[in-house]
Amino acid sequence: MKLLLFLLFVTLTTAFECDPHAKICETSLDIHYELAMMSEDGPVYAHNGKLFLYNVTDTANASPYKMDEIMTADGWEGSSGRLIVSANKSLPGPPIIVYEGQTVIINVHNNQLTEATSIHWHGVDMKDTPWMDGPPYITQCPIGPGQTFKYKFTANPPGTFWYHSHMGHQRLNGLFGAFIIRPKLSNKIQLEEHIMQVFEWNHEYGSDADDLFEEAGGTYINRTKLLPSMQLGMSRYTPYRTHAGLINGRGRFWSGTSNNGAPLETFKVTKGKQYLFRVIGPGALYPWRVSVDQHNLTIVGADGYETVPVVAESFVIAPGERFNFILNADQPIGTYMVRAETLDRRYTTKAEAILQYEGAMLSEPTSSKSKCTSSNKCIVVNCPFPFYPENENVNCTRLTELRTVLNILTPLPVQGKFKEYFLNFAFPGYNGEEGPASVNGRQFKLPDVSALTQPDELPHQCTDQECGEEKLCQCMNSLTINSGDTIQMTFLNMGQGRVDDHPVHMHGHAFMVIKVGYGVFNKSTGALIEDNNDVDCRGNTKPGMSMCNSATWSNSSWLNGNVPGIVQQGAVLKDTVIVPSGGYVVVRFPATIPGIWFLHCHIDMHSNDGMAIVLNESFASIPKPPPGLPKCGSYLGNDVVSDVSDTNEPVEDFNDHVVKDEDSESDKDENTTLLFGGMFSVLFVLNVVQFIVLLVTCRRQNQDRQHDKAFAS
């Protein structure tokens, strides 16, 4: 397969593109609050695909308002407009295009008045600069209102990536954008390209209100609780009301079979040419099925890595994922609808855009979707289930059927250098009820300091007494992995806490997807019947009632890397993968990038509720962070008194918070607790001329020694 160099053709916002010959590439992101459907002259409204100022009454004889200056979203006006958290006053934020190997500097200015923020560079290799990865309280302190943080890292590897806020629900309110790393310049075929970002949008609430509605058990309208959304497999989705779907920040608000006529994104093509589409999934919850009327899509990339071409009618993309496809503009000149639809049986949400051929008037497409018939079944790539219901006439191309052009051999287990973990992403609860979001029953709790750069200040971790096979606990859940080991993780979505599919994202690494196991489904209806029986959840022996906190293979011969049916060569490389309800995904990667890496469900409501874990990879080998990185933490009062005889309370030292490692069975390694070391904070109180001087001395050598001791497993 020929390698391709792609030229960007941006239609929505002005992209920042670095000079391909530059060694250093610098730009800025200015974070602001903005209002949808608002201009500098006042509110605007949509009519027949155009925008008009609020006081225009005769649209037939009035000039439309300049569309490029308005963040339309779905055209909903509301009483005061929908609040957007924007980068550089655009929705999505501006695409950033750099070249492989360049030093990238991005100055993030937080101009919000009331919220902190941070930016994660999703999928980008942060080797040697883990403190630039972005998640707050994991690798850095949040960027407070009025503050600036300078991100600096090397652009690797080439591919389709993106940036987004990792603070609360700011991503769902618009703070994200494309981050494209092009290959180094060479004599290669050039294709024009389009960036396409597909996501959900709602009007009535945003930010932290999403979690509150989930805690209340759903969404209510006029004192009536809405029925939950339902996956094609009949598992329910987390409660989340979606009013519209957007492509590149534009879409329409539908009421029944009519819509508000808001403008759509337009992708321009010329007949006879090929185009690369980079599709990004920054959405809140749902997987989307993406297609283009009367055009086949040739899938050529996943999560930034090129794949062997596969021709399909459509593909499925979940939050955090990316897919590249090539479109041949080989149809009659005209306009065609670009479609994305959620995989939802009850409340299907659709997002639309227009594919406009050169020479065609920009008009509402009259095209229709490709018909899937029993004699001409549609190919859908990346189904989160083994098959569609029979009457859909669809054949699924599973993720494990894709092959990377790198054709890498799957690393084999080496005795003493192979570690295997089972991680269950679910909502287990007591007495069969749904509980909090967790991984292996451990609800992740963020620390109040930066775990990477302030490890000696971390709180104590959960213990085996607090957590267990059929127990729930809350802590900074963590797992230590060692340099040079081959790591195999089996991501599960099983037991009595399974609900919807989970798009699981790993910071710091791309992994090989070597096996996917699905639950048992009804072939005619597509409904999920029961969990896959390859996995033994252990714990509660009643079928389906185990919390699945301490899973292993049902067949013990599969342990130690001996899982049958894995992809041996050319496994697709991903950093985000859909873990199907009732099933599992086996991934493998070498531990070669020291850092503190977040591993979490990319549905914000799940991650914020605790469906996450931290990977502590080779802490002793992590490079020292640059001087001057901000510190953060809580203030719990000043307990120092001038007369120590006034208190009889015992002095507490850091070791009181440290949990000592305990030996465990090899198949329970997934429950290993990460202890971010510690050191004694030595306090010297001196009475000098009626005041007290508090001197805190931090010794790096003590810190390293304590880390080495605490991380030993």
Specify the pLDDT at position 670: 40
CATH fold for the domain made of 191-397: Immunoglobulin-like (2.60.40)
pTM for the whole structure: 0.87
Phi then psi for residue 712, to 5 deg, are: -60, 130
Q: Are β-strands 595-601 and 612-617 bridged in parallel, bridged antiparallel, or unpaired?
A: antiparallel
Query: Residue written as tokens 């004599």?
Result: 187
Q: Are β-strands 4-8 and 189-201 bridged in parallel, bridged antiparallel, or unpaired?
A: parallel
* Alpha carbon distance 444, 351 (integer Å): 33
* Helix (H), strand (E) at residue 492: strand 486-492
Q: In this structure, are residues 252 and 76 in contact, taking their beta carbons and an 8 Å threshold?
A: no
* Alpha carbon distance 675, 667 (integer Å): 20
Specify the pLDDT at position 641: 52
Length of the chain in terms of residues written = 713
605 three-class SS: helix
> What is the DSSP secondary structure assignment for residue 616, as one 8-state letter?
E
* Helix (H), strand (E) at residue 701: helix 700-711
Q: In this structure, are residues 168 and 207 in contact, taking their beta carbons and an 8 Å threshold?
A: yes
Question: Residue 706 — left, alpha, or beta (φ > 0 → left; ψ -120 to 50 → alpha)?
Answer: alpha
Write down the H helix ranges in 205-359.
Answer: 209-215
CATH fold for the domain made of 418-621: Immunoglobulin-like (2.60.40)
Q: In this structure, are residues 579 and 523 in contact, taking their beta carbons and an 8 Å threshold?
A: no
Specify the pLDDT at position 689: 32
Alpha-carbon 588 to chain mean position: 19
* Alpha carbon distance 22, 432 (integer Å): 59
* Alpha carbon distance 82, 205 (integer Å): 9
Return the closest-CA partner of residue 175 out of 267, 284, 252. Answer: 284
Write down the H helix ranges in 528-587.
Answer: none
Specify the pLDDT at position 210: 64
Phi then psi for residue 578, to 5 deg, are: -80, 120
CA angle 590, 591, 595 (to 5 degrees): 145
> Which residues does 192 contact at the CB level (< 8 Å), separation at least 6?
6, 7, 8, 9, 273, 275, 276
Alpha-carbon 68 to chain mean position: 28
Phi then psi for residue 34, to 5 deg, are: -140, 170
Are 11-37+81-186 and 191-397 the same fold in CATH? yes
* Alpha carbon distance 353, 366 (integer Å): 13
352 bridge partner residues: 339
Neighbours of 161 (CB within 10 A): 24
* Alpha carbon distance 419, 666 (integer Å): 9
> CA torsion 552→558→561→566, rounded to 10°?
-110
* Alpha carbon distance 85, 167 (integer Å): 11
* Alpha carbon distance 608, 591 (integer Å): 26
* Alpha carbon distance 651, 653 (integer Å): 7
Q: One-letter amino acid identity for 70?
A: I
Specify the pLDDT at position 3: 36
Helix H, strand E, coil C: the string for 617-632 is: ECHHHCCCCCCCCCCC
Through-space distance between the first and last CA atoms of the chain, rounded to whole angstroms: 45
Write down the H helix ranges in 185-320.
Answer: 209-215
C-alpha torsion sign, points 466, 471, 474, 475:
positive
* Alpha carbon distance 435, 430 (integer Å): 7
Q: In this structure, are residues 141 and 450 in contact, taking their beta carbons and an 8 Å threshold?
A: yes
* Alpha carbon distance 616, 629 (integer Å): 20
* Alpha carbon distance 695, 688 (integer Å): 13
The ranges assigned to domains in the chain are 11-37+81-186, 191-397, 418-621
Cα–Cα distances in angstroms (integers) from residue 541 to residues 178, 471, 546, 661, in the given order = 47, 15, 7, 29
**Neighbouring C-alpha atoms within 13 Å toward the C-beta of 552:** 17
Q: Which two tokens stand for residue 636?
A: 């719990």
Specify the pLDDT at position 205: 58
Specify the pLDDT at position 464: 72
Q: In this structure, are residues 605 and 502 in contact, taking their beta carbons and an 8 Å threshold?
A: no
Specify the pLDDT at position 123: 97
Ranges in the chain, pLDDT < 70: 1-13, 79-80, 187, 205-211, 214, 217, 233, 639-713
Cα–Cα distances in angstroms (integers) from residue 112 to residues 93, 143, 178, 268, 410, in the given order = 15, 10, 21, 35, 46
Q: One-letter amino acid identity for 263?
A: P
Give the architecture-level CATH label for domain 11-37+81-186.
Answer: Sandwich (2.60)
Cβ burial 383-413 (10 Å sphere, 16+ → b, else e):
bbbbbbbeeeebebbbbbebbbeeeeebbeb
* Alpha carbon distance 703, 713 (integer Å): 18
> Which residues does 481 contact at the CB level (< 8 Å), separation at least 6?
419, 487, 591, 615, 616, 617, 618
DSSP structure string for 438-481: EETTEEE---SS-TTT-GGGPPPPP-TTTS-TT--EEE--EEEE
Return the closest-CA partner of residue 92 out of 18, 209, 10. Answer: 10
> Which residues does 85 contact at the CB level (< 8 Å), separation at least 6?
31, 32, 33, 34, 112, 115, 117, 165, 170, 173, 174, 175
